[in-house]
Amino acid sequence: MQKFTNGLDTNDPGPDGSVDRSRAILSYIRKSLKATRPWTRLLSVLGFIGTGLTILAGIAMIVGRNFIPVSEKAPPLAFMGIFYILASVFYLVPSIWLSKYSTAISAFLKTDDAIELGKAIEYQKSFWKFIGILALVSIALAVLGIVAAILIPSLLALRG
């Protein structure tokens, strides 16, 4: 286990009266991580709550499909319920990565273990990678939806 500090305050001047740049940088990193951790923990908890509520809404749609009046043109509620349950994964995965990131930050701040800092950075990378892929897929689906919204009515009008 590699420790980053030797217990000295990073602003303590060294023997020659100068401040160690490496310790000052590490202090800045520690302060930033300490300030970030509560927010990432909050967002992960909110994500878990959102996941749970989305799953409950999906189950309610499946169970209540016979009790809820719906237009005949609307998609079946059972289908919508299954869609909601499957879509909850998009809340769950980033919430897990944020939770792991927050936990690794806490471990690093307690132990100054470089491995814990590495884990935190890895979890953060996984979070942003998932969000980036999700954003690209969402943009692609939006473009496809726009194209379909233009083409399908046009083709149906030509057909009959």
For residue 11, the cross-strand partners are none
Q: Any idea which residue has 């690093």 for tokens?
A: 108
DSSP state for residue 14 in the 8-state scheme = -
**Residues recorded for the chain:** 160
Per-residue pLDDT of the chain (160 residues; tens, 9 = 90+): 555 554 445 555 555 656 678 888 888 999 999 999 999 999 999 999 999 999 999 999 898 877 777 777 777 888 889 999 999 999 999 999 999 999 999 999 999 898 999 999 999 999 999 999 999 999 999 999 999 999 999 888 888 6
Cβ–Cβ under 8 Å, residues 120 and 94? no
pTM of the model: 0.76
* Domain ranges for the chain: 37-159
